[in-house]
Amino acid sequence: MSFGTRFFTWLHGEHVGTDQFGNRYYLDKRTKGKPRERRWVLYKGIPEASKVPPEWHGWLHRTIVEPPLNRAPQRPWQKPHEPNLTGTDLAYRPPGHVLKGGARAPGSGDYEPWTPN
Write out pLDDT tens, residues 4-27: 888 988 999 999 999 988 999 999
Q: What pLDDT sits at residue 65?
A: 87
Residues with Cβ < 8 Å from 25, sequence gap 6 or more?
15, 16, 17, 18, 19, 39, 40, 41, 42, 56, 59, 60, 67
Rounded-to-integer distance, Cα 12 and Cα 81, Å = 30
CA–CA dist 33, 28 (Å, integer): 10
Q: What are phi and psi of 94, to 5 degrees?
A: -70, 160
Question: Rounded mean pLDDT of 40-63?
Answer: 90
C-beta separation of 58 from 64 below 8 A: yes
Q: In terms of pTM, does the model score above 0.85?
A: no
pLDDT in tens, 54-73: 889 999 999 988 888 877 77
Domain chopping of the chain, boundaries: 1-71
User: Which residues are CB-neighbours of 42 under 8 A, at least 6 positions away?
Assistant: 1, 5, 6, 9, 23, 24, 25, 26
Averaged pLDDT of the chain:
86
Dihedral sign of CA atoms 4, 7, 12, 13 in order: positive
Q: Which residues pair with 79 in a beta bridge?
A: none
Q: What is the pLDDT of residue 46?
A: 85
